[in-house]
A and B are shown apart, each in its own frame.
Chain A
Amino acid sequence: MSQTNLLDRRAVVATMLRDRKGIVAVGGLGASTNDMAAAGDHDRNLYLWGAMGGAVMMGLGLALAQPDVPVVVITGDGEMLMGIGSLATVGMQKPGNLSIVVLDNERYGETGGQTSHTSVAADLVGVAKACGIADSQAITTMADVEGLVPKLHELKSGPRFANIKIDGANVERILPMRDGTFIVNRIRGSLGFPPL
């Protein structure tokens, strides 16, 4: 499954979040959440520093609560594998406003680069399709990333899943804020909910 000409993760995330309008973005534990910070802090960014395997379910809870707001989960292959069953849960609920994007470098980059299951066997696009997420695609070019961007704003045509092959380079750590209560309440505030 390994290949050349893999995409740069920072360029991929920056492209997806450019002109993001109302998008709420959930960043899975690890480099993905840092990529979101690198693209620019935003009051609708849900940065995760733990809870591995939970990113897609947080996106689902948000998408069901806010059907008029596009929700995009950006996570890595390791985090996705830990919550793989949540694709079946999403496939059953079918929220039209939820997109799941996996930045797949085929390794556990935060812990020393150990290879993950996607490097030899696991086909996440196949899993997502088989779980009932019909719009599931493998992305290997920036042109395809550009093609994905407008779909991230659609509210009725999801759920969708995209697996983007990225290179395994360790990029500069750009750390987001890590006060969870502040992060969640900031999102709530941006959606119009006052403090308790």
Chain B
Amino acid sequence: MHARTDTSEQQTAAWPEEIYAVLQRYDVRQVPYVPDAGHSKLIERVLGSDTMRGIPLTTEEEGVALVAGAWAGGQRCALLMQSSGVGNCINMFSLIPLFRLPFFTIVTMRGEWGEFNHWQVPMGSTTQAVFELSGIRVMRAHHAGEVREVVEAGAAQAYNACTPTAVLLSQRLIGAKVFVK
């Protein structure tokens, strides 16, 4: 286990910038999100972007509906959330097959690697199954060095092949949140 702190490697990791570059290459224009510490660098990057619009949500299911509206209007989205938010989306996921949406989401995982807060464990344990039951393909990056490659493959599958895809970023690569020293 390694902890996530202000001086951890997450602060200097290259993968948030690599994800941003992939999203830019696929002409993603709207990036709905519910904040998560694991996504914070990427969110900052999106909010400072000239081509992407970061859109804070009050709950993750809003993001699925936003993806549908943006697609009807000709724009691609990428939804950023953490594992607990996936459960909030379930009924709204119906829109993905019904509208044949090029759905792409990047999920930071909790409750699976050195977790302190066991309230994160139930949803973290079922995140992958929830996606798969909802007809969304799941890919996973376990280590920082493979994030770019996995996100690139997932984005290609989602946007080119119109195959709904979730990329899970393992808690191991993000680092567990520190509650007590």
Interface size class of B (residues with CB under 8 A): 20 to 34
Interface residue? B75 (CB, 8 A): yes
Which of A92, A180, A183, A192 lies in contact with B56, CB distance below 8 A? A92
On chain A, the number of residues with a Cβ less than 8 Å from chain B's Cβ atoms is 37
Interface class of chain B by DSSP: helix
Question: Is there contact, CB below 8 Å, between A181 and B73?
Answer: no
Interface residue? A184 (CB, 8 A): yes
Q: Mark A51-70, 1 if CB is under 8 A from B, else 0.
A: 11111011111111110010
Which of A83, A188, A192 lies in contact with B72, CB distance below 8 A? A188
Question: Is there contact, CB below 8 Å, between B99 and A65?
Answer: no
Q: How far is the CA of A183 from the CA of B95 in the complex (A)?
A: 12
Question: Is there contact, CB below 8 Å, between A51 and B92?
Answer: yes
Q: How far is the CA of A50 from the CA of B63 in the complex (A)?
A: 16
Given contacts A85-B58, A180-B99, contact A57 B65 (CB under 8 A): yes
Question: Is there contact, CB below 8 Å, between B91 and A85?
Answer: no
Q: How far is the CA of A46 from the CA of B70 in the complex (A)?
A: 12
Given contacts A26-B69, A61-B77, contact A86 B53 (CB under 8 A): no
Given contacts A64-B30, A89-B62, contact A193 B53 (CB under 8 A): no
Given contacts A51-B65, A57-B62, A61-B67, contact A180 B98 (CB under 8 A): yes
A173 to chain B, nearest CB (A): 21
Question: Is there contact, CB below 8 Å, between A89 and B57?
Answer: yes
Residues of A within 8 A of B15 (CB): none
Question: Is there contact, CB below 8 Å, between A61 and B162?
Answer: no
Given contacts A61-B77, A89-B58, contact A187 B72 (CB under 8 A): yes
Interface residue? B64 (CB, 8 A): yes
Which of B55, B74, B91, B95 lies in contact with A66, CB distance below 8 A? B74
Question: Is there contact, CB below 8 Å, between B65 and A65?
Answer: no
Residues of B within 8 A of A169 (CB): none
Q: 14 A–B contact pairs at CB < 8 A?
A: A54-B95, A57-B62, A57-B66, A58-B68, A61-B65, A61-B75, A61-B77, A62-B73, A65-B74, A83-B65, A88-B58, A89-B56, A180-B95, A181-B98
Question: Is there contact, CB below 8 Å, between A181 and B99?
Answer: yes
Residues of B within 8 A of A93 (CB): 53, 55
Interface of chain A residues 82 through 129 with chain B (CB within 8 A): 83, 85-86, 88-89, 92-93
Question: Is there contact, CB below 8 Å, between B30 and A61?
Answer: yes
Interface residue? A191 (CB, 8 A): yes
